Structure 1
Amino acid sequence: MRRRLGFITVGSMVLAALTVAQPPAQAGATAAAGSATVAEARATIQGRPSTDADTAARLSIAYWTPERMRAARPAPMPDGVDAPDGEAADRPGRIGAPRDVAAPAAPRSSAATLNTAAAVSGHGTQAVNASPGVGRVFFTHNNENFFCSGGTINNPQANMVSTAGHCVHPGDGGSVWFDNWVYAPEFTEGKPLHGLWSAKEFTSVEGWVDWGYLWWDFAFVTMHPLDGDRLVHVTGGQGLSVNKSKTLSAMLLGYPAEAPYDGQSQYYAQGNIKAAGVQRVKLKDCPLNHGASGGPFLRAWDNDLRFGYVNSVMSYKFSGNMYGPYFDDDVLDIYTVAKNKQ
């Protein structure tokens, strides 16, 4: 079985003696050897390791001109199916007690001005405030510029972004992570309202990096300070939940760029998510599309605070439904590795 992205072919190993029919996740079970192992890499800018914050900011701003940001293409989502072979054996699930491992935090800066996300959704129209804790991600791969979405996480170092695995690495087993990776929180009308923040280090999982398994399609990115400030202090940050119900109300925020969307501001979709496969969730009839990859599934969304708890990230669409990996103790392990990185 293969998962194909527009810029790379992602191989998925078919595990022997398995059928498409999949048993329910078992609490306390462990993933197949290797897949749950952390995968890490230092970010690069113009092919060079991203070392100090001032140099990273200078090089990132020099590269990501307004023209390059406008010309960047939405990252292609992986192809997906509802129940791929091998999921039950590779990620049967480690579902512990439901936990909020990080709480939402408001920005310390008054610069995080209130904006309103465009009222476009497959689930009706309402006033939804844009979150300064959601932004557009830019990166380079094979000399082409792409963009995804991401969410700021309130971690101890105040420097974390959550996104999809396919927004940091092609998932082909190779060693090349995406170059020139920056985050523009609350990107609005084509402008980075709170500056361009440069990636320092990527933290994902071998199940995505080596095999491109959709149920592992998530990553955490720690960011350099900008002008001496830390990301969460400027924009605020989402909380993070694990082991929550697979059937709850969620707000999805991101930067879709295919009609009727333009990718220039935040858009939302809201509804009740459902369990999918073994360790994934989905929002049915979700209108968001390419460019929204990596944007958060937010539970307990507070429209006044403009934050919630990241409970998954947008991975791919299939039959009109938006899928994301289920956040359980496997995800908590990766977050724990990343959360204290300077």
Structure 2
Amino acid sequence: MRDPRAGSALEWISAAREPTTTASGLLGSTVIATPAQAEDDITVAPLAATATTAQEVARFWLADGAANLKNATPYAVQTEVQGERVSTPVAPDTKPGSVAPAPGPAEPKGKTPTTSGKVFFADADGQPHWCSGTALQSQYRNLVATAGHCVYDIQRSGTTLDKWVFVPGYADGTTPWGLYVGKQSFAHFDFSTYKDYDRDFAFVNVYNGVVSPSPDVLTDTGRLVDNVGGQGFAWNQPAVSLADVFGYPAGPNPDGRRPYTGQTLEWSTGPTSTMTLSGLPTDLFVGVESPFTGEGSLGSSWLYHYSGASRTGYLNGVTISVADTDGDDRYDTGVSPYFDGAVNIIYQAAARAWTGSIA
């Protein structure tokens, strides 16, 4: 059989070694994962590979008073699944571990994280759309986490979404800490090639932020995590009881009601559990009790041990869809792939990638 990686426009890298991180299990839940292979393939895909391309992307979003940001609509691809909570215990594939968060210098009012924001992109229809995302701690302080299908176009096999950027703290069309153009994405080979939703996550390296004080002028605002902080990262956590979910839900419930506008960051807290899904070809997923609707909340961060004082916690999931588990026509559960050692291998590779400035 022909190797599906041959002749691809993407760059394929095989990661076959354990990452060098400190294992420090967090306290936690009944959420447990299936064993992963010793080797996991990493897909590295270019988004805006050169500074010139990145400048064009930034201008697309910032031109005309950021009109494309303001006119973007929530991404409505694969937003709902059918599923139920279960208590299936399966052994993690490696030891649990974590990477500490990096609190940011920004101190706005409230206790929500400055790391959360919207990821914007253009779909195959050429129109602007958005998902949720969050800044993560990394070596070069330039990493964003979101759902895999908020980076890869699952409606066009083997391609990424266009003009990909991240805006932390987005609210009503503003870019309070600048706009960060994605340079490249790190994802799992099984998702980018086979649409394996057990691996529906992505890490994106972004260039330094920019603002546009006047037409055709871009000013550097610095590195992402230097400006807003970066969430920690945790994997193979066997005993987590609660997760704080942050995102920008905007779509309707099955009953037609719209409890969210998608214009400001929303926060929910709920217990986690394992889940089985009937609408997607998956093995084992994690669910969190959350009233977020699907459109807009794709890519929402799940933070364990979140502190309102430091505005940081440990990323251990991202919303890839939502479910109505009790049949009352209102969504009550967000779902995420389980973050096992395979996810950590991809995170570690992305955390070592440098980007730089485009201005």
TM-score using structure 1 length:
0.77
Label 1:25 to 1:312 Cα distance change in 2 as closer, same or farther (>3 A).
closer
Q: Distance in 2 between matches of 1:288 and 1:269?
A: 12
How many angstroms does 1:284 deviate by? 2.7
Q: Distance in 1 between matches of 2:294 and 2:149?
A: 15
Label 1:77 to 1:250 Cα distance change in 2 as closer, same or farther (>3 A).
farther
Query: Is contact 2:246-2:300 (8 Å) kept?
Result: yes
- Letter of the aligned partner of 1:325 in structure 2? P
Label 1:55 to 1:99 Cα distance change in 2 as closer, same or farther (>3 A).
same
Counterpart in the other structure of 2:97: 99
Query: Is contact 1:214-1:325 (8 Å) kept?
Result: yes
Counterpart in the other structure of 2:131: 148
Aligned ranges for residues 225-240 of structure 1 at < 5 Å?
225-226=208-209, 227=220, 229-240=222-233
Per-residue CA deviations over 1:158-190 (Å, capped at 9, x if unaligned) read: 000000001001235723211111100011233
**Total equivalences in the alignment:** 286
Label 1:329 to 1:72 Cα distance change in 2 as closer, same or farther (>3 A).
same
How many angstroms does 1:80 deviate by? 2.8
Label 1:250 to 1:26 Cα distance change in 2 as closer, same or farther (>3 A).
closer
Q: Distance in 1 between matches of 2:351 and 2:284?
A: 23
Q: Distance in 2 between matches of 1:255 and 1:139?
A: 15
Counterpart in the other structure of 1:253: 246
Counterpart in the other structure of 1:269: 268
- Letter of the aligned partner of 2:340 in structure 1? D
Query: Is contact 2:120-2:129 (8 Å) kept?
Result: yes
Label 1:190 to 1:245 Cα distance change in 2 as closer, same or farther (>3 A).
farther
- Letter of the aligned partner of 2:174 in structure 1? K
How many angstroms does 1:58 deviate by? 5.6
How many angstroms does 1:61 deviate by? 3.1
Counterpart in the other structure of 1:298: 303
SS of the aligned residue for 1:241 comes to: strand
Percent identical: 27
- Letter of the aligned partner of 1:107 in structure 2? G
Q: Distance in 1 between matches of 2:202 and 2:82?
A: 21
In structure 2, stretches of 5+ residues that fail to align are 1-31, 210-219, 252-257, 277-282, 325-330, 355-359
Please say if 1:42 is aligned against 2:42: no
- Letter of the aligned partner of 1:236 in structure 2? G
Counterpart in the other structure of 1:190: 173
Query: Is contact 1:188-1:266 (8 Å) kept?
Result: yes
Counterpart in the other structure of 1:9: none
How many angstroms does 1:280 deviate by? 1.7
Per-residue CA deviations over 1:108-162 (Å, capped at 9, x if unaligned) read: 4xxx24133xxxxxxxxxxxx2211111110011112110010100011100000
How many angstroms does 1:238 deviate by? 0.3
Please say if 1:30 is aligned against 2:37: yes
Please say if 1:312 is aligned against 2:279: no
Q: Distance in 2 between matches of 1:298 and 1:206?
A: 25
SS of the aligned residue for 1:37 comes to: strand
How many angstroms does 1:246 deviate by? 5.7
- Letter of the aligned partner of 1:146 in structure 2? H
Query: Is contact 1:280-1:323 (8 Å) kept?
Result: yes
Counterpart in the other structure of 2:337: 325
Q: Distance in 2 between matches of 1:173 and 1:334?
A: 23
Q: Distance in 2 between matches of 1:246 and 1:55?
A: 44
Q: Distance in 1 between matches of 2:91 and 2:178?
A: 38
- Letter of the aligned partner of 1:295 in structure 2? S
Counterpart in the other structure of 1:80: 81
Per-residue CA deviations over 1:181-231 (Å, capped at 9, x if unaligned) read: 110001123312111111011111122212222211100000111316211
Please say if 1:201 is aligned against 2:184: yes
Q: Distance in 2 between matches of 1:69 and 1:173?
A: 23
Query: Is contact 1:42-1:202 (8 Å) kept?
Result: yes
SS of the aligned residue for 1:171 comes to: coil
Counterpart in the other structure of 1:17: none
Counterpart in the other structure of 1:211: 194
Residue among 43, 58, 61 paired with 1:60:
58
Query: Is contact 2:289-2:334 (8 Å) kept?
Result: yes
SS of the aligned residue for 1:210 comes to: helix
- Letter of the aligned partner of 1:114 in structure 2? P
Counterpart in the other structure of 2:108: 114
- Letter of the aligned partner of 1:30 in structure 2? Q
